[in-house]
Structure 1
Amino acid sequence: MTRRISSCVALLGGSFDPPHHGHVALAELFARQLHPDELRVLPAGRPWQKANGLEADDADRVAMLELAFAGSGVPVTIDTREIDRHGATYTVETLRDVRAEVGPDASIVFVMGADQLQKLDTWRDWHDLFALANFGVAARPGYRLDDAALPPAVAAELAHRRASFEDVRASPAGKVCLAHTLAVDVSATQVREALHAASRTGQVSDLGALVAPQVLDYIQQHNLYKN
């Protein structure tokens, strides 16, 4: 008997320090391919892998996310559960929370870039993630999705999980769909470095290629990412 999927919830997590064109492009790509009933963006609270912490505070990151997605045409919900947790942020805990909320018959798809997949085996309880959600992974320039580019344990785990977008949407968890078409090459580190440089020189003309103009306005008005 085929299991009936009640809904599809796509999740995009990250530090969003700050949110940039790459984040929006990633969300738009999987919104087009998966047609989720809901797309949630989850800003991290205290990401354990970032030893130096975050530059922007929680309220500013949420405000910038709302601005970044306001003009994207993709309706999103900003889910602050990781911020509200007031502790180290682990994806496995977030997925357990979301699964308990949406029930066993919903398809959950955790969306990420290839750079995150390449270090998936460093995440807490990473093998448990596949029992909780599906994964949508997008290539980006400089990061490949073939097995040779992945840690052997991750490649082995994905070997029997690859599926089409349609199959992922129709499954509660355990499948992985790969998108090779994301050509946007922007990282938050690159954006912060450009903003730091702009704070020294006053030259902001090239920042529009990295972040939405409304996000850049917010950054300037609130004096964020200054040296």
Structure 2
Amino acid sequence: MTGKKLCVALLGGSYDPVHDGHVALGAYFSSLLQADLLRVIPAGAPWQKGSLGASGQQRAEMASLAFAGLTVPVTIDCQEIERSEQGQATYTIDTLRQVRTELGPQASIVFLMGADQLQRLDTWRDWQQLFEYAHFCVAARPGFALNDTAMPQAVADEFSRRLGTLERIRNTPHGLTYLAQDFAVDISATEIRAALHGGTRANSLVSPLVLDYIEQHNLYKS
């Protein structure tokens, strides 16, 4: 890969359960960035959410099934689950530090997220240091803008001043941001769990392989 940096996209989430919105987000940005690898990172014990309906291993296995059909190489990174099982906190800043240590200082590391996560970014541990380890690409939602009244001013300012092109993000290690205004997926894992509780398979929102897994393991039942 002479003259071309390694580019690894990271997509974290509870994946409780993984749904088509997660897969679409990973596929969209991996294509835009011409990423060499999509690294899917199931959360351990996300401190901003309540208890999860599936175990760490089950969520990792569901993610593996859901992302298997993408053209970009995909790996399931279970480091946050492993830390959680050891009784350790699982913060994104620690995950990015570990990935940076593994990939070295020159690789382009790109953290993918939705606009809803961006609006809470200032509540994340050491959030301003996150840019020292990765770029951030965000999928907008209908009507969303960086001056959204729900957006913390500090986050909007930080994100705006770091805006970069996809080419620069692809060819530099970290520190830039990108907002995909033309991409938005409105699928809620909460809604999917509610449908599953009610006996609906949510066929249009979740991979058939994942739905079969959910049924086989008797997950999300009322």
Q: Percent identity?
A: 57
The alpha-carbon deviation at position 5 of structure 1 amounts to 6.3
Q: Secondary structure at the match of 1:148?
A: coil
State the aligned residue count: 216
1:59 pairs with 2:54:
no
Structure 2's unaligned 5+ residue stretches are none
Query: Gapped runs of 5+ residues in structure 1?
Result: none
Aligned residue number for residue 35 of structure 1:
34
Q: Answer yes or no: is 1:94 the counterpart of 2:95.
A: yes
TM-score (norm 2): 0.93
Aligned to 1:21: 20
5 and 72 in structure 1: CA distance in 2 versus 1, 3 angstrom threshold? closer
Amino acid in the other structure paired with 2:213: Y
- Using the size of structure 1 for normalisation, the TM-score is 0.91
Distance of aligned partners of 1:5 and 1:97 in 2 relative to their CA distance in 1, 3 Å threshold:
farther
Question: What residue number does 2:152 align with?
Answer: 151
**Contact 2:111–2:135 (CA under 8 A) maintained in structure 1:** yes
Cross-structure match for 2:76? 78
AA partner of residue 221 (structure 2): K
Any runs of at least 4 consecutive aligned residues in structure 1 with deviations exceeding 4 A, and if so which?
Answer: none
- 1:47 counterpart SS class: coil
Q: Can you list the C-alpha shifts for 1:100-149, whole angstroms capped at 9, x where unaligned? A: 1111111110000000001100000001001111001001346x132234
* Alignment CA distance shift 1:5-1:88 (3 Å): farther
Q: 2: distance between equivalents of 1:38 and 1:81?
A: 17
Which stretch shows the higher mean deviation, 10-19 or 174-183?
A: 174-183
Residue 89 of structure 1: CA displacement? Answer: 1.4
Asked whether the 8 Å contact 2:6–2:108 carries over to 1, the reply is yes
1:182 is displaced (CA, Å) by 2.1
Structure 1 pair 159/183, CA: closer, same or farther in 2 (3 Å)? Answer: closer
SS in 2 for 1:209: coil
Partner of 2:122: 121
